[in-house]
Copies of this chain bind each other. A is one copy, B any other.
């Protein structure tokens, strides 16, 4: 299609229609961002009509090109494009922009609107998610089928996207990996919310991206031929491409163009009227789509369906290829049969083992059954135990399953989202738990979108020892547990770690954070104590009281063994003590009340929670009469055993606390 000359007259009419649809939607909502849709309309027009291989009636077609609106505040532009090109998004939805229960929320939300590829709004995220999508495409193309997955990722970015560190991290990795399937367009409009970008942003962006190894092109934002040629050139280059388009915020609005006033508020009735006059439209009419524009734009439907059919045909023709058959089965039917049959079983006799080590063993047992499981670490693979043994690295020109993210936790989080958007892939990423703080924005977005990346967070408490308080998580557990729709699992030993991985893999609709110890932990003797399968319910009775139930010890992770030891001491004194392992609050809270009360009988009010992390939130389980043995400050630098003792995490201290409570 790209070889056709541009019908300039029809293009202009279409572009003005896009501009005004977006401005009308914002005006109607009395809220939103008209300026960016107006400036970016020519680019969006060219992309959707001449470059994107998309099929409006098959928005989930795996072989489609992806378009990301990284500047998510320009959502009215995206909705206008989706409506005009025939996606299932009516004009009424555009008129209900930013209203409750509409499909046109303030920022694009994945899963909410057909054609929205990822949730954007927090700047930089879309930019970095796109890099993950491009890596996913590269992986499928090299590992499954080259032609079927030769799709590209396009993104529209603003100044803010380029100022955010997460985009810088991701751009550096994209250049390193030579992701030629990336075509990014940057709206260089010289305006930010506080005024001219020159207030805070005077770097030479083009040079910076050249330094990353990108191709950099320039175009005038209103020059269709220039933009079109730049996109064509970007598609052909083996490097990722950044097209710097000099645009004008609020383009077409006589008094607000090039002003921050066009950014985050409706144009206002009078300015919108003047804009319509300037564009030669009826100033009194709103949401107008000329017939010629309608016909021209909806041609995307048939064109897209033909592309889709051809792809589907190719898929069917080649389904004898084992890689492709595998992929198709996973995408259409879910995880392959028997994927969890070869997992290690840990025996207490094997002696103590760090849960991070157990995690590495389980991961490597899973890998052969799950060819679309891939991931890595933010340069801590040997510590996180995230390497898939015998598998190749994800390198430029060779997409193995071991990804080296570099020291880029934030980009890793966003890239995992991009990989999770890729049909069939199960991505994971590791770092120290403390550095989950660097990647909260993409974790939150994964939870919001219902994506299911797996986070391997090791070195989970002061138990990491000498590295000291900068590396010792205290509040990170609470901060992760507070995120809606994220499952956090802190296994007590190697056996619970196996189960945690099983849960994380099986859970394909929300993200899971595995919280693992650096230090060795006893492997709990499951002949004497409750089976690790109990962890699937979030919490379970690990050790039943002998005699009457007098005290309840509730713990997670490394503190569970401590609780078991304390229980032995207490039972020796005749104090009937139960130990509950509570690796996942989210999973436990989802259980029926009956089960929860069976595990934590309301009749037993003497409850002590033990966790080497902030006490924040534990009141939920210990109740008014209970107590919490936890961290009330940052940690310190010393060998782990000394630190745990110093901060009160010993069996003797736990037992003493219970005795004191009994008095």
Q: Residues of A at under 8 Å CB distance from B? A: 29, 31-32, 72-73, 98-102, 105-107, 109, 119-123, 159-160, 163-169, 172-173, 175-176, 192-194, 199-208, 210-213, 260, 264, 377, 379-383, 393, 395, 404-408, 410-411, 434-435, 437-438, 440-441, 444-445, 447-448, 465-471, 474-475, 478-479, 481-485, 614, 616-617, 619-620, 623-624, 631-634, 636-639, 642-643, 646
CB atoms of A382 and B194 under 8 A apart: yes
A393 partner residues in chain B, CB cutoff 8 A: 199
- Knowing A122-B435, A382-B194 are in contact, say whether A406-B176 is a contact too (CB < 8 A): no
A395 partner residues in chain B, CB cutoff 8 A: 199
Question: Of B99, B105, B211, which contacts A208 at CB under 8 A?
Answer: B211
| A148 CB → nearest B CB, Å | 28
Tell which of A106, A107, A448, A633 has the most Cβ of chain B within 10 Å: A106
Determine the residue in chain B with the shortest Cβ distance to A214.
B203
Task: Give Cα A172–Cα B205 distance, bound, in whole angstroms.
Answer: 10
| A266 CB → nearest B CB, Å | 11
New contact pairs (11) apart from A105-B469, A119-B470, A479-B482, CB-CB < 8 Å: A31-B466, A99-B637, A100-B638, A106-B471, A107-B470, A122-B435, A122-B470, A164-B408, A192-B379, A438-B440, A482-B614
Determine the residue in chain B with the shortest Cβ distance to A409.
B164
- Knowing A205-B211, A211-B205 are in contact, say whether A166-B163 is a contact too (CB < 8 A): no
Determine the residue in chain B with the shortest Cβ distance to A475.
B482
| A620 CB → nearest B CB, Å | 5
Task: Give Cα A164–Cα B163 distance, bound, in whole angstroms.
Answer: 13
Determine the residue in chain B with the shortest Cβ distance to A98.
B466
Question: Of B109, B194, B213, which contacts A404 at CB under 8 A?
Answer: B194
Question: Of B164, B481, B616, which contacts A165 at CB under 8 A?
Answer: B164
- Knowing A163-B406, A207-B207 are in contact, say whether A448-B465 is a contact too (CB < 8 A): no
Task: Give Cα A121–Cα B438 distance, bound, in whole angstroms.
Answer: 13
CB atoms of B100 and A643 under 8 A apart: yes
Task: Give Cα A466–Cα B616 distance, bound, in whole angstroms.
Answer: 31
A381 partner residues in chain B, CB cutoff 8 A: 193-194
Task: Give Cα A194–Cα B402 distance, bound, in whole angstroms.
Answer: 11
Question: Of B122, B169, B484, B620, which contacts A633 at CB under 8 A?
Answer: B484
- Knowing A211-B204, A616-B617, A623-B624 are in contact, say whether A160-B475 is a contact too (CB < 8 A): no
| CB-based closest 8 A-B pairs | A165-B165, A105-B637, A121-B470, A200-B406, A100-B638, A168-B168, A207-B211, A475-B482
Determine the residue in chain B with the shortest Cβ distance to A406.
B200
Question: Of B123, B408, B632, B642, which contacts A484 at CB under 8 A?
Answer: B632
Task: Give Cα A381–Cα B120 distance, bound, in whole angstroms.
Answer: 22
CB atoms of A470 and B448 under 8 A apart: yes
Determine the residue in chain B with the shortest Cβ distance to A410.
B165
A617 partner residues in chain B, CB cutoff 8 A: 478, 482, 616-617, 619
| A186 CB → nearest B CB, Å | 13
A102 partner residues in chain B, CB cutoff 8 A: 637
- 11 pairs of residues in contact across A and B, judged by CB atoms under 8 Å: A106-B471, A107-B471, A176-B203, A192-B379, A193-B382, A194-B382, A202-B213, A208-B212, A211-B211, A448-B469, A616-B616
CB atoms of A470 and B406 under 8 A apart: no
Task: Give Cα A590–Cα B646 distance, bound, in whole angstroms.
Answer: 23
Task: Give Cα A208–Cα B122 distance, bound, in whole angstroms.
Answer: 25
| A265 CB → nearest B CB, Å | 10
Task: Give Cα A313–Cα B637 distance, bound, in whole angstroms.
Answer: 40
Task: Give Cα A340–Cα B528 distance, bound, in whole angstroms.
Answer: 65
Question: Of B122, B163, B441, B638, which contacts A99 at CB under 8 A?
Answer: B638
Tell which of A395, A435, A479 has the most Cβ of chain B within 10 Å: A479
CB atoms of B163 and A380 under 8 A apart: no
| A212 CB → nearest B CB, Å | 5
Task: Give Cα A399–Cα B219 distance, bound, in whole angstroms.
Answer: 36
CB atoms of B468 and A121 under 8 A apart: yes
| A105 CB → nearest B CB, Å | 3
Determine the residue in chain B with the shortest Cβ distance to A376.
B194
Question: Of B199, B213, B379, which contacts A160 at CB under 8 A?
Answer: B379
A404 partner residues in chain B, CB cutoff 8 A: 194, 199-200
A194 partner residues in chain B, CB cutoff 8 A: 377, 379-382, 404
CB atoms of B106 and A467 under 8 A apart: yes
CB atoms of B448 and A634 under 8 A apart: yes
Task: Give Cα A482–Cα B471 distance, bound, in whole angstroms.
Answer: 16
